[in-house]
Structure 1
Amino acid sequence: MQLQVMNSPFNQEQAELLNRILPTLTDSQKVWLSGYLAASQFASVQGGLGAQATELAAQGTGELISKDVTILYGSQSGNAKGLATKTGKTLEGNGFQVTVSSMSEFKPNNLKKVQNLLIIVSTHGEGDPPDNAISFHEFLHSKRAPKLEGLQFSVLALGDSSYEFFCQTGKEFDTKLEELGGTRIYPRFDCDLDYDEPAAEWLEGVISNLGNVQGGSASPVTVTAAAAQAVESPYSRTKPFKAEILDNINLNGRGSNKETRHLEISLEGSGLTFEPGDALGVYPENDPDLVDLLLSEMNWKPEEIVKVNKQGDTLPLKEALTTYFEITVLTKPLIEQAAKLSANGELQELLSADNQGKLKAYLEGRDLVDLVRDFGPWTGSAQELVSILRKMPARLYSIASSLAANPDEVHLTIGAVRYDAHGRERKGVCSILAAERLQSGDSLPIFIQQNENFKLPKNPETPIIMVGPGTGVAPFRSFMQEREEIGAEGKSWMFFGDQHFVTDFLYQTEWQKWLKDGVLTKMDVAFSRDTDKKVYVQHRMLEQSKELFEWLQDGAVVYICGDEKHMAHDVNNTLIEVIEKEGSMSREEAVEYLAVMQQEKRYQRDVY
């Protein structure tokens, strides 16, 4: 339909211009334009209403649309929470009114009142939601979830591409919100461990599109990776502090099957602070023997200069492989990129849809050396191959000390990882750096990773129950040091387990002193290899089920730290069994009891 001068308020030149432009516009552009013009007219009519005028509906319906943005995060280790906080600050700087909340603290029934929703969520374990996202995730996927036709949303998913169910939780939220009637402000972004740049790109796209929805009220914005990760401390994940190693001690006795290192690290001059329950991020270096093996296998020159990032920074190849790139983990995305640089047809075959099971099996326990050995000859240059590698991810360790008890220091408890797989000895990148190469006086790039999901009760009189076998003992040493410093009156109960009493009772003299001094009320230990029948912490919990349930009824907070796949799963089931038995409940009632504890932050887990 052509616009005519005679029946319009436009002159000939304006009409011709509009007739040229209007047919080229998409439906969404027309909707945006109508909202923008309506908002402009509303602003001129209302005069002094100012900012309210920019809230006129972008869909040209004459309704006011909110500039409020709700950001919900699900975070296990703290990355999603940190990004949510920074996203909120950036949006506020662009004129939006922002609410940032953990999913566990958000009332799901309020979702139907939200118009602009941003989800920032990590994926935990094998495709599971983080602990503080479980209840909200279950609500959205239940029959109680409301229709959300008026909702605008976008999802930022955090994950690790070495896991089969990469960013699964974010994908599920994205799909479900659309199924419930929501429309996307901006497409979902799936971020790997090095999430700074994609998170910044997502945030820039979200702000730009929110501005369009709001009738162009938001100023143009450029979000850098640094801005997305900016924190108050001068040192952070993107700018780690080079900390001096003060001491490095093997906690296990002679003859032990294990090697557990106790590291004492100086924070002097860093300004870094932490609370019990937080983690320390460490950027390790790859094993020099493994780097040399890779260079030899590919016949690469160690001194060759290669680009290591999009900014064009360069390093000698050996240094890049040692300090910058991950070479010990294979992922499906890496294999897909590598296949383009190999003349070996077997690698293409491994990636076929019929061989997904074989691919999964191949990825397990293999590294870059295996890949280059198994699927040569390689057509790519050293630069092309390193360009497809992931940046070295930080390793997170539960902090094993209290800052109040050890000013300007942070302590770690790290179990050395060594095993044989596919005909070669394998070593944990960071743990073997600590066990074999890190000496007093050396430095280590570190940062503090806050963990709001694993914190001592605000009331020091609240009783606590701690379950931490092996290196899972680390944060509870921090808890006890802190409670001793502040003179906490609340009862405390520790469940610790390992292989042998004589060689593997980590921090034994400290626990015995806390028991003697009354800082620790009660301790139960399980040493699985000291008796014919293997005894673990969950067995000790069952033996104490009556008193354990009494503590729960008295409001105790339960903490679990350590292995997720086995220990944490078994302890969770044991707690349900204890509640079911001692509380005379059905299985379903016991599960609900524990779920309520979790919602009340009385059941907290730091598992890996």
Structure 2
Amino acid sequence: MQFQVMNSPFTQEQAELLNRLLPSLTEAQKVWLSGYLTATSQSAATAEAPEAPAPLAPEASQAVSEAPPISKEVTILYGSQTGNAQSLAENAGKTLEGKGFEVTVSSMSDFKPKNLKKVENLLIIVSTHGEGEPPDNAISFHEFLHGRRAPKLDDLRFSVLALGDTSYEFFCQTGKEFDQRLQDLGGTRLYDRVDCDLDFDEPAAEWLEGVIAGLNQGQGGSIEATPSATVAAPQAVETNYSRSNPFQAEVLENINLNGRGSNKETRHLELSLEGSGLVYEPGDSLGVYPVNDPALVSELLEELKWNPDETVEVKGENLTLKEALTKNFEITVLSKPLLEKATGFSDNENLNELLAPGNEDKAKEYINGRDLIDLVRDFGPWNASPQEFVSILRKIPARLYSISSSLNAYPDEVHLTIGAVRYEAHGRERNGVCSILCSERLQPGDTVPVYVQNNQNFKLPENPETPIIMVGPGTGIAPFRSFMQEREEIGAEGKSWVFFGEQHFVTDFLYQTEWQNWLSEGVLTKMDVAFSRDTDEKVYVQHRMLENSKELFQWLQEGAVFYVCGDEKKMAHDVHSTLIEIIEKEGGMSREKAEEYLADMQQQKRYQRDVY
């Protein structure tokens, strides 16, 4: 509706101002403004009310008496695999507490489902893991909520913040499932679900603004109505180095851990944290912001026939096109949202056909293993300026690597163990963006932007006497090197057992000397290795677990914590199945009881995974 002098109580000048302002407001801003105006008008009415106010009309009196008071108590539940959802939840809790709310922040695995019926205001912050699956610490709550024992939640107000990655088919699937299920159980949204891609700071901040506005609705001004612009996403306002303000870490060492003749290239990277104030614990990860391969950028620009020195604007900064494509934008991964945006710049009917309803499998097949150069070649000509084209690209995301050092053992340093990714797909050689940067172009003396990603879901036990079992083939061994360094430094006396696997003993036994030293010194109790290409029949870590099933189960019975790090799709899945098989066999249990045993271990944080 357009305001005019004839259809509103405003002057011509006021109407023109409102007509310019309102279309520019977000839904969250409109909701907040509505609540603010209501609160201020109520305050003014109270201040100016006569001593003997006129009685309310019967209908209004009934409405006031029946309006239930809205609780200031807010419960925030998070499901997090790498720590992002937990960080967002904790920061949201602090923000809400600062505005007068009583906040409880909890991991879904620590929350007692029977208490859900008592919750009036619920915020869910959850990531999606693997192929649309809940993160490990959200599994039990997700199963409860979607099971037959889930209660009716007619008095619940809720909102969901979903974290995901648009390059995956089931983008934000877990958040979508929680959102729908809470509605099905009778809950009312106090703010619509927001789905976040890897660059989640701004949408998360907007969601929190909307949530605060929704919570304030009906508070009658009892909660401070602070302008939404003061609400920020986690880490965005921190003064120290963080995900949004990375530290430029100097490369101290860059070593190939594999021997001559190996099919693998694994880089051991040592970085200086001196002067950063960054700290980490064993089990945490390091985020590394890479840049694209200059050769790949040049090939893309040549394909588009654009001038590398042409200027484009990126978040208020003027950069050359080559610089923007090198440092700012993802060009090695395709996603369905990117293809959909690209249709606006292409008259190629094949692209529209690929995205037509019913062709989901074809689109998925096309996206797999292809990059931006493929898209440009396959669906040109393109009717876009360089500025328009880069506007549809996603910000290049950081890569998370499990830290392979202990800060106690190496003060002011952080070590990484990175496998170089090279493969052939669709007639072209392809490279991992960050791994090849580290293996081919990063030299001692160079710097790289980094931040620490805390991961409370993958931690050594508090009691150093607790036994630990570690399964980490390939680069999955990285956090366990950190674990052993830490245990050596603190003099931990608990038993420790590691399972390591790779292709060849001679060329691929990562950190061999260190593991042998820990064994000889008693820091490490037991080590089993599996080198799959050294025997006629391939042997993997799960086979070594089966060979030691009786002793492994005995360790579990003694309270050992079981850790897995590495590839999720194959290795972690096989290890999980093998672990259930061992529990079933050695514990004399049914399959169902063995699964319950492992689920209980997970609930007690005795089964922890860092998988990717």
RMSD between superposed Cα atoms in Å = 2.3
Q: Which among 185, 190, 202 is matched to residue 185 of structure 1?
A: 190
Paired residue type of 2:192: P
Task: Please name the residue that 2:450 is paired with.
Answer: 446
Task: Please name the residue that 2:313 is paired with.
Answer: 307
Q: State yes or no: 1:122 paired with 2:157.
A: no
Paired residue type of 1:292: S
Asked if the contact 1:197–1:225 (Cα under 8 Å) also holds between the matched residues in 2, the reply is no
Paired residue type of 2:343: A
Asked if the contact 2:288–2:450 (Cα under 8 Å) also holds between the matched residues in 1, the reply is yes
Task: Please name the residue that 1:155 is paired with.
Answer: 160
Deviation of 1:224 (Å): 6.0
Counterpart CA distance in 2 for 1:292 and 1:416 is 22
Alignment TM-score, normalising by the size of structure 2 = 0.90
1:50-69 correspondence to structure 2 within 5 Å: 61=66, 63-69=68-74
Asked if the contact 1:277–1:479 (Cα under 8 Å) also holds between the matched residues in 2, the reply is yes
- CA displacement 1:449-500 (0-9 Å, x = unmatched): 0000000000000000000000000000000000000000000000000000
Asked if the contact 1:493–1:523 (Cα under 8 Å) also holds between the matched residues in 2, the reply is yes
Counterpart CA distance in 1 for 2:500 and 2:239 is 35
Q: State yes or no: 1:218 paired with 2:224.
A: yes
Alignment TM-score, normalising by the size of structure 1 = 0.90
Task: Please name the residue that 1:4 is paired with.
Answer: none
Deviation of 1:94 (Å): 1.2
User: 1:100 is paired with a residue of what secondary structure?
Assistant: strand
Paired residue type of 1:263: L
Deviation of 1:221 (Å): 2.8
1:513-524 correspondence to structure 2 within 5 Å: 513-524=517-528
Q: State yes or no: 1:466 paired with 2:470.
A: yes
User: 1:228 is paired with a residue of what secondary structure?
Assistant: coil
Q: Which among 411, 417, 432 is matched to residue 413 of structure 1?
A: 417
1:521-560 correspondence to structure 2 within 5 Å: 521-560=525-564
Task: Please name the residue that 1:250 is paired with.
Answer: 256
Superposition misfits of 4+ residues, deviation over 6 angstroms: none
Paired residue type of 1:204: E
User: 2:359 is paired with a residue of what secondary structure?
Assistant: helix
- CA displacement 1:298-322 (0-9 Å, x = unmatched): 011111111223xx22211101100
Task: Please name the residue that 1:339 is paired with.
Answer: 343
Counterpart CA distance in 1 for 2:414 and 2:554 is 35
Task: Please name the residue that 2:365 is paired with.
Answer: 361
- CA displacement 1:329-382 (0-9 Å, x = unmatched): 000000000011012111111110121111000000000000000000000111
Task: Please name the residue that 1:54 is paired with.
Answer: none
Counterpart CA distance in 2 for 1:224 and 1:272 is 26
Q: Which among 486, 489, 505 is matched to residue 490 of structure 2?
A: 486
Unaligned runs of 5+ in 2: 1-8, 10-30, 50-61
Task: Please name the residue that 2:179 is paired with.
Answer: 174
Asked if the contact 2:267–2:439 (Cα under 8 Å) also holds between the matched residues in 1, the reply is yes
User: 1:236 is paired with a residue of what secondary structure?
Assistant: coil
Q: State yes or no: 1:298 paired with 2:298.
A: no
1:367-386 correspondence to structure 2 within 5 Å: 367-386=371-390
Counterpart CA distance in 2 for 1:359 and 1:227 is 34
Count of residues in correspondence between the two structures: 567
Asked if the contact 2:164–2:195 (Cα under 8 Å) also holds between the matched residues in 1, the reply is yes
- CA displacement 1:414-468 (0-9 Å, x = unmatched): 0000000001000000000001000000000000000000000000000000000
Counterpart CA distance in 2 for 1:289 and 1:551 is 52
User: 1:584 is paired with a residue of what secondary structure?
Assistant: coil
Task: Please name the residue that 1:196 is paired with.
Answer: 201
Q: Which among 565, 569, 592 is matched to residue 588 of structure 1?
A: 592
1:200/1:58 CA distance change after superposition, 3 Å = farther
Q: State yes or no: 1:435 paired with 2:447.
A: no
Counterpart CA distance in 2 for 1:510 and 1:368 is 42
Asked if the contact 2:202–2:233 (Cα under 8 Å) also holds between the matched residues in 1, the reply is no
Task: Please name the residue that 2:286 is paired with.
Answer: 280
Paired residue type of 2:458: F
Task: Please name the residue that 2:21 is paired with.
Answer: none
Q: Which among 54, 73, 78 is matched to residue 73 of structure 1?
A: 78
Asked if the contact 1:208–1:218 (Cα under 8 Å) also holds between the matched residues in 2, the reply is no
Q: State yes or no: 1:570 paired with 2:539.
A: no
Task: Please name the residue that 2:105 is paired with.
Answer: 100
Counterpart CA distance in 2 for 1:446 and 1:281 is 5
Deviation of 1:219 (Å): 1.3
Deviation of 1:228 (Å): 3.5
1:223/1:458 CA distance change after superposition, 3 Å = farther
Paired residue type of 1:286: N
Asked if the contact 1:88–1:98 (Cα under 8 Å) also holds between the matched residues in 2, the reply is yes
1:59/1:603 CA distance change after superposition, 3 Å = farther
User: 1:347 is paired with a residue of what secondary structure?
Assistant: helix
User: 2:339 is paired with a residue of what secondary structure?
Assistant: helix
User: 1:540 is paired with a residue of what secondary structure?
Assistant: helix
User: 2:217 is paired with a residue of what secondary structure?
Assistant: helix
Asked if the contact 2:312–2:321 (Cα under 8 Å) also holds between the matched residues in 1, the reply is yes
Paired residue type of 1:249: I
User: 1:204 is paired with a residue of what secondary structure?
Assistant: helix
User: 1:366 is paired with a residue of what secondary structure?
Assistant: coil
User: 2:140 is paired with a residue of what secondary structure?
Assistant: helix
Task: Please name the residue that 2:244 is paired with.
Answer: 238
- CA displacement 1:74-131 (0-9 Å, x = unmatched): 0001110111111111111111111111111111110110000000000000000000
Paired residue type of 1:605: R
User: 1:445 is paired with a residue of what secondary structure?
Assistant: strand
Asked if the contact 1:210–1:218 (Cα under 8 Å) also holds between the matched residues in 2, the reply is no
Task: Please name the residue that 2:52 is paired with.
Answer: none
Asked if the contact 2:348–2:381 (Cα under 8 Å) also holds between the matched residues in 1, the reply is yes
Paired residue type of 2:364: K
Deviation of 1:209 (Å): 1.4
- CA displacement 1:257-292 (0-9 Å, x = unmatched): 000000000000000000000000000000111000
Counterpart CA distance in 2 for 1:293 and 1:401 is 38
Counterpart CA distance in 1 for 2:547 and 2:250 is 44
Paired residue type of 1:287: D
User: 1:213 is paired with a residue of what secondary structure?
Assistant: coil
Counterpart CA distance in 1 for 2:259 and 2:92 is 48
Deviation of 1:230 (Å): 4.0
Asked if the contact 1:201–1:223 (Cα under 8 Å) also holds between the matched residues in 2, the reply is no
Task: Please name the residue that 1:390 is paired with.
Answer: 394
Q: Which among 139, 148, 172 is matched to residue 134 of structure 1?
A: 139
Task: Please name the residue that 1:330 is paired with.
Answer: 334
Deviation of 1:229 (Å): 2.5
Shifted more, 69-78 versus 205-214: the winner is 205-214
Task: Please name the residue that 1:268 is paired with.
Answer: 274
Counterpart CA distance in 2 for 1:199 and 1:276 is 28
Task: Please name the residue that 1:49 is paired with.
Answer: none
Counterpart CA distance in 2 for 1:338 and 1:58 is 52
Counterpart CA distance in 1 for 2:248 and 2:506 is 36
Counterpart CA distance in 2 for 1:551 and 1:345 is 61
Asked if the contact 1:263–1:412 (Cα under 8 Å) also holds between the matched residues in 2, the reply is yes
Deviation of 1:566 (Å): 0.2
Deviation of 1:212 (Å): 1.0
Deviation of 1:232 (Å): 5.5
Task: Please name the residue that 2:16 is paired with.
Answer: none
Counterpart CA distance in 2 for 1:221 and 1:150 is 28
- CA displacement 1:135-192 (0-9 Å, x = unmatched): 0000000111111000000000000000000000000000000000000000000000
